[in-house]
Structure 1
Amino acid sequence: MFKKIALFLLLLLLLPTSSSAQEQPKEEMFKARVIEIMQQEEVIDEAGSIIQQDLKLKGLEGNFKNQEIIFEGINDWQILSSQVYKEGDKVIVSYSQDIEGNDVFFVLDYDRSSPILWLTIIFILSVLAIGRWKGLRSLLALIASFIVILKFIIPQILNGANPVMISVIGAIIILIFAIYFTQGINKKAHIANLALIISLLFTALLSFWFTKLAQLTGYSEEASYLMNINQGNLNLQGLLLAGILIGTLGVLDDVIISQVSTVEQLKQANPQLSNRQIYVRSLKVGIGRYPKFKTPCPYDIIGI
């Protein structure tokens, strides 16, 4: 069973990421360094003031390594979250071509790879120190999850595929692989996977309904820029739903695995308990755990 799951995951990762026979515009993201602030202006409108900059950059990797690039940041795109850069800053640059074949560069943000690398090392060492072999399996499952997201979910969405369908498929692959890899192939893992798939599908339907009810579009000024460089292929509302689904994976995994483990331990502690008694007691445990997940929700909404 485990070999079949691993083979299925591998085959999905090898699938071509293009959803169209037409050739897509060339796209690339790379690191660059700011070597000159060519021009800087303060733009004031009803929403406040922002600083826009024209920058001269030097590519640090990829096809643009050691090449000088001009980023024209002084334009009509009023992005309030835009950063103010100085000479020597390392940044992440997005390159694409528009419909007419013109090169389009956009500075996305600072390059934060160094601090993220140190945080990752600390996280890995902590997991290994506490979890030992089970912690190692969890890390490998996490890596596999990122592979599915980066090699399957994101490319398919960027190529115009249905974000909700792709996210559901990707999430199911992630959950099945992660649970069997960390918990082993046993009855507990089978039940957990079934419960997770049902919960994920229910979450997808509920999210879709409330998104339509609340008329959430996923549109923002940054999103409109992405629509521009992707020739309008992105379904922003679907992308919003996809983000909701991916965001629920951790909570669903934690809650359901904990609840299945509770039922298993109750049965082992007292085999004389009837199914109804086990259900009632495990339900009380779940209800007791519920406030832990409910309380942060208002703070998350306020934070967003």
Structure 2
Amino acid sequence: MKAYLKTHPDILLVILFAGLCWILFALPTGYDQLISKDTHYDKARVLSVDNSDIMVHAIVKAGTQDLEVKMLAGPFKGEKARVINALKGKMELDEIYQKGQVILVQYTVINGKIKTAYSNGHYRISHEVWLLGLFALLLLAVGGWTGLKALLSFALAGLMLWKIMVPLFLKGYDPIPIALAVVGFLTLAISLLVGGLTRRGAVTFFGAFLGLGFTCILALYFNESFRIHGAVRPFAETLLYSGFYDLQITRIFLAGIFIASSGAVMDLAMDIAASMDEVKKNNPDISLKDHIRSGMSVGRAVIGTMTTTLLLAYSGGYMTMMMLFMAQGVPLINFFNINFVAAEVLNTLVGSFGLVTVAPFTAAVGGFVYHFRPDGILKKTMPVTSEEMKHCASQIRTE
């Protein structure tokens, strides 16, 4: 067993990070106690609806929808209950239910009975679990052992964001160093999980982290001239009204810039590191200069598609906003000067800067990592002669 672990050190990494995921899953966020112990969330099926109290104003609906439901889970499974669907007059938040649909019900229990119950949207949890399960199966089927490590890194990233970064943001800590530390740790973990405890994993980490650090510096610098307030992000103002008055929402917005680009940065760094690793294996005598050049060649090939990926990913989330301004005939000079649009321009261009710079960073780091001995002396770039190989072998036997 010990010999197997020595030849497969990535198993230890998988066990280590799987244990960390379990710890993070059980770790309280500090905000769980805000939910009353008498409050329950269970799914229910709608038996009948009463729309008499709904007021329609053009395309907006307000008022309440009264529902009769049958509980499908929880301590009151099989029992009927009255549920209130309070409409806020916002289409992105409101849902109108029909008979036979399954919804999530939030209710309080007093003296062993349901006191008040409200609808919390269509029940989507089961579909989300099925979709996640299919994704995991596909990842394992296609990737095998590497797919398992990728799935573990996916879970670790989600837990780190939800259990560590978000609670620290809410507690008022400076978002920039917190986000940089979390993303740095995730970069290290994912680089080692996918690349292994090898030079390839080390090159991936250092190249990606240098690119992310540069992205962070650019975001801080250019936001001074762009003058973007963090309230441009959805629910930011609602968060302030919820009692979190001291949140640094602008710095949260800036942290989100390099968080959003970190995945693409790691992807590009891994591509370059893996290619340089293959080049070194197939041509051990390649010179430092040629090795760096080969890494840059791969970086140039990937940069074009990666920057376009960021543009499409960011613009896709704001498609309706672009349609609105075009439909109203807003001039381009006004369009790009609006704070929402300028925020996306800053997001896209700064993230793209990180992608472009990660290529030379990773190529340079890879060149020096692969061409240095443990004692810090550069390896010879000339072919190794048979006499030198015999001398090295004799030295090893002597030691």
Q: What is the rounded CA distance, in whole Å, between the counterparts of 2:234 and 2:90 in structure 1? A: 6
For residues 163 and 107 of structure 1, the distance between their equivalents in structure 2, rounded to whole angstroms, comes to 34
SS of the aligned residue for 1:273 comes to coil
Report the equivalent of 1:41. 55
Q: CA deviation at 1:172?
A: 1.6
- Give the corresponding residue for 2:251: 238
Q: How does 1:25-174 map to 2 (within 5 A)?
A: 25-26=34-35, 30=41, 33=44, 36=49, 39-43=53-57, 49-55=59-65, 70=84, 72-74=86-88, 79-87=90-98, 89-90=101-102, 109-174=121-186
| Counterpart-to-counterpart distance in 2, 1:90 and 1:193 | 45
Residues 159 and 233, structure 1, Cα contact 8 Å, conserved in 2? no
Q: Distance in 2 between matches of 1:34 and 1:214?
A: 49
Q: In structure 2, how many angstroms separate the alpha carbons of the residues matched to 1:198 and 1:106?
A: 49
Measured at CA, do residues 239 and 93 of structure 1 come closer, stay the same or move farther in structure 2, by a change above 3 Å?
A: farther
* SS of corresponding position for 1:172: helix
Aligned-partner residue type, residue 226 of structure 1: L
Identify which of 264, 285, 293 aligns with 2:306.
293
SS at match of 2:231: coil
- Contact in 2 for aligned 1:171/1:249 (Cα 8 Å): yes
**CA distance in 1 between partners of 2:21 and 2:155 (Å):** 14
CA distance in 1, matches of 2:260, 2:312: 16
User: Would the aligned equivalents of 1:30 and 1:94 in 2 still touch at CA under 8 Å?
Assistant: yes
* CA positional deviation for 1:94: 8.7
Cα distance in 1, alignment partners of residues 102 and 125 from structure 2 = 10
Structure-2 change in CA distance of 1:7 and 1:227 (3 Å): same
CA shift at 1:211, angstroms?
Answer: 3.6
Q: What displacement does 1:31 show? A: 5.2
Per the alignment, in what secondary structure is the counterpart of residue 180 of structure 1? helix
- How many pairs does the alignment contain? 286
User: Cα 1:231–1:277, aligned 2, differ >3 Å: closer, same or farther?
Assistant: closer
Shift of 1:283: 0.9
CA-CA distance at 1:124 after TM superposition = 1.3
Distance 2:303 2:189 in 1: 26
**1: CA distance between counterparts of 2:133 and 2:20?**
27
Which digits, 9 at most, give the CA deviation of each residue in 1:261-303, with x for residues without a partner?
1111122222232111111222122111221112334433432
Cα deviations across residues 152-181 of structure 1 (Å, max 9, x unaligned)? 112222333333332222212222122222
Q: Which deviations, in whole Å up to 9, do the C-alpha atoms of 1:190-215 show, x marking residues without a partner?
A: 22212222222222222233344252
User: Does structure 2 conserve the Cα–Cα contact (< 8 Å) formed by 1:34 and 1:89?
Assistant: yes
Q: Which moved more, 1:33-42 or 1:152-161?
A: 33-42
Deviation of 1:12 (Å): 8.9
1:203-248 per-position Cα deviation (integer Å, ceiling 9, x unaligned): 2222233344252423367333232224434433233233333322
Contact 2:276 2:291 in 1 (8 A): yes
Shift of 1:84: 2.7
Query: For residues 162 and 15 of structure 1, what CA distance do their matches in structure 2 show?
Result: 21
CA, structure 1 residues 34+282, in 2 after alignment: closer, same or farther (shift >3 Å)?
Answer: same
1:217–1:253 distance in 2 versus 1, CA, 3 Å: same
Q: What whole-Å deviation, never above 9, does each CA across 1:15-65 have from its counterpart, x for those lacking one?
A: 87559xxx9855889455585556322346xxxx42234255778889999
Please list, as runs of the form range in 1=range in 2, the aligned pairs for 1:216-231 lying within 5 A after superposition: 216-219=229-232, 222-231=235-244
The letter of the residue matching 2:190 is A
The answer to whether the 8 A contact 1:259-1:282 is kept is yes
Distance 1:63 1:148, change over 3 A: farther
CA distance change for structure 1 residues 220 and 298 in 2, over 3 Å: closer, same or farther? closer
For the 8 Å contact 1:18–1:156, the answer to whether it is kept is: no
Rg larger in 1 or in 2? 2
Q: TM-score, normalised by structure 2?
A: 0.58
Distance in 1 of aligned mates of 2:128 and 2:220: 33
TM-score, with length taken from structure 1: 0.74
Counterpart secondary structure, 2:212: helix
Task: Please tell me the residue identity of whatever aligns with 2:56.
Answer: E
SS in 2 for 1:142: helix
Partner of 1:210: 222
Matches of 1:167 and 1:94, distance apart in 2: 33
CA-CA distance at 1:251 after TM superposition: 0.6
Instruction: Please give the alpha-carbon distance, in whole angstroms, between the structure 1 residues aligned to 2:213 and 2:105.
Output: 36
In the TM superposition, residue 139 of structure 1 has moved relative to its aligned partner by 1.1
How many Å apart are 1:257 and its aligned residue? 0.7
